[in-house]
Amino acid sequence: MNTTVVVLFLAIVIATLFITYYAAKRTQTTGDFYTAGGGLTGWQNGLAIAGDYLSAASFLGIAGAIALFGFDGFFYSIGFLIAYLVVMFLVAEPLRNLGKYTLADMINARFDAKKVRGMAAFSTITIVIFYMIAQLVGAGALIQLLFGIKYWIAVLIVGVMMTVYVLFGGMTATSWVQIVKAVLLMLGTVIIAFLVFAKFDFNLVKMFAEVKTATVHGADYLKPGLKYKVPLDTLSLMLALVLGTAGLPHILMRFFTVKDAKTARSSVVIATWIVGIFYILTMFLGFGAAAFVGYDAITTANAAGNMAAPLLAGVLGGDILMSFVSAVAFATILAVVAGLVLTGASAFAHDIYGQIIKKGKASDREQMLAARYASLFVSVFSILLALFAQTMNVAFLVSLAFCIAASANLPVILYTIYWKKFNTNGALIGMAAGLFSALILVVLSPNVFAPEPGQAIFVGTALFPLTNPAIISVPLGFLGGYLGTILSKEKADYRKYAEVSVRANTGYRE
């Protein structure tokens, strides 16, 4: 561990604690806790959404994937970006107009049914837990590498920090940590991409010509098919990526932090620009790492390629740039896991405790207390899981989270806003079909069963051939919602739909 890393690391810890201290003073009510009082501007929320999105998996993972697999690594960038159009065109504004704190609130704007709320909360918690384990295990491994400390200490540091932000500063602290990190991450990425491009004399053709000979793959490096060889698996992954974002609860929750649909819209627009620029730059990061760090050095540091970006920073800008990038990666992890804790806590405290158990009659003090206990519970639970999951290959959990979001949440969100006949039964069956088909297919997939020991959790033959089940589970989610509706005797409440439609489209409130 060198001094620069330690100094920057501490600077980030201190800065975020300051943010939390100020945020804590402004967190008085439940609304402040979950949604920062709905007072963020379009710019602030746009940066925070971009921040939620540019997780360590994006920054380190995609740069590494492009460095190792060339074109195929770029697929993730494209899927993640186009996903914003789905959010912008179909989901963000109606969601802001109908919801209060959680996804379940929005669905309940139409169906006042505890079963539906419970199911939505369950799906939220499942997604949050999977996403969180992936982030925490990745974080532990990364910090262990960066700072040379033990895995369990690394997980505990990240775990304690995220708990502190959420417990004391709620959404205000979480958002501001996210904003600060998004700015730092963009800065770091732009600097590295610029240095890489300078090394190629600012000449794209030269860059392509040089990376063509720089890797062990030779000319194949620039062609698709190096990583994704099964066509249906590629399509399935792309489907999960493009539809998942619009159903990810921690992204959806961000739309409740702004005052109205117009601000929600401007925040997606800002996030789209930032995320788009970032993902274009990942190409430079990946190419740079492939050319200047080299395949062997990248895979020696971390087999999945996660160290490509920090190593590249070291080659280009020496210890200082590498320390900066490492510190930013640390901040990235902290900010994303804090957002996840808050989302998980909102499902437990607001949906299950506040609305289902207390029937919406809990006092603000009780709700706030419940929110804090739930945050603590979600944090401790995920830290424990992350400690046990250290040796497991958990990289697939992120794409699984996207898959569940696309299969269980998105069909119901779309039906709730746009389908007149949709009813309670359809909502329940749609969510259950998407959620459980995704889970079961993953359990039977090559992620869990592999013929050779060490590749997956169990040794054996996978019953389901695809690593990502989206291509089956997304249609099942839509089909479940459709059949559940038309096959039930329950009559749709057209009056309620008229109200939901008017409110969703105009933002009308009394």
Partner 1 sequence: MKVESAYKGKTEQEWGSVEPLSARQATDFERIVSSPQYKEMLRRKKRFIVPMTIFFLAFYFMLPIMTSYSTVLNTPVYGDITWAWVFATAQFIVTWVLCVMYVKKSNAFDKDADEVIKLIERDGGSA
Residues engaged in binding partner 1 (CB under 8 A): 71, 74-75, 78-79, 81-82, 84-86, 88-90, 112, 204-205, 208-209, 212, 222-225, 228, 231, 234-235, 238, 242, 262, 265-266, 269, 272-273, 276, 279-280, 360, 493-496, 498-499, 501-502, 505-508, 510
Is the Cβ of residue 27 or residue 97 nearer to partner 1 in the bound state? 97
Residues forming a β-bridge with 40: 258
Is the Cβ of residue 209 or residue 487 nearer to partner 1 in the bound state? 209
What is the full DSSP assignment across 389-405?
TTTS--THHHHHHHHHI
Is the Cβ of residue 25 or residue 223 nearer to partner 1 in the bound state? 223
Is the Cβ of residue 273 or residue 388 nearer to partner 1 in the bound state? 273
Is the Cβ of residue 86 or residue 322 nearer to partner 1 in the bound state? 86
* Nearest Cα to Cα of residue 66 among 202, 206, 214: 214
In angstroms, how far is CA 19 from the centroid of its own chain? Answer: 22
Is the Cβ of residue 340 or residue 414 nearer to partner 1 in the bound state? 414
Angle of helix 114-147 versus helix 396-404 axis, rounded to 10 = 160
Closest distance of CB 78 from partner 1, Å: 5
What is the full DSSP assignment across 272-321?
HHHHHHHHHHHHHHHHHIIIII-HHHHHHH-TTSTTHHHHHHHHHHHHHH
Closest distance of CB 422 from partner 1, Å: 15
* Nearest Cα to Cα of residue 348 among 249, 482, 477, 273: 249
Is the Cβ of residue 21 or residue 208 nearer to partner 1 in the bound state? 208
Question: Measured between alpha carbons, how far is 111 from 487 in angstroms, rounded to an integer?
Answer: 18
Q: Please check whether residue 116 is in contact with residue 432, taking contact to mean a CB–CB distance below 8 angstroms.
A: no
Closest distance of CB 106 from partner 1, Å: 15
Q: Which distant-in-sequence residues (6+ apart) come within 8 Å of 80 by Cβ?
A: 53, 58, 241, 245, 275, 279
Q: Which distant-in-sequence residues (6+ apart) come within 8 Å of 269 by Cβ?
A: 42, 46, 88
Closest distance of CB 427 from partner 1, Å: 17
Closest distance of CB 111 from partner 1, Å: 11
Closest distance of CB 328 from partner 1, Å: 23
The amino acid that residue 198 corresponds to is: A
- Greatest pairwise CA separation for the chain in angstroms: 69
Is the Cβ of residue 91 or residue 313 nearer to partner 1 in the bound state? 91
Coil vs helix vs strand at 258: strand
Is the Cβ of residue 225 or residue 451 nearer to partner 1 in the bound state? 225
Closest distance of CB 360 from partner 1, Å: 8
Dihedral (C-alpha) 225, 230, 231, 232: value to the nearest 10 degrees? -150
Closest distance of CB 364 from partner 1, Å: 14
Residues forming a β-bridge with 119: none
Closest distance of CB 235 from partner 1, Å: 5
The amino acid that residue 501 corresponds to is: S
Question: Measured between alpha carbons, how far is 173 from 372 in angstroms, rounded to an integer?
Answer: 14
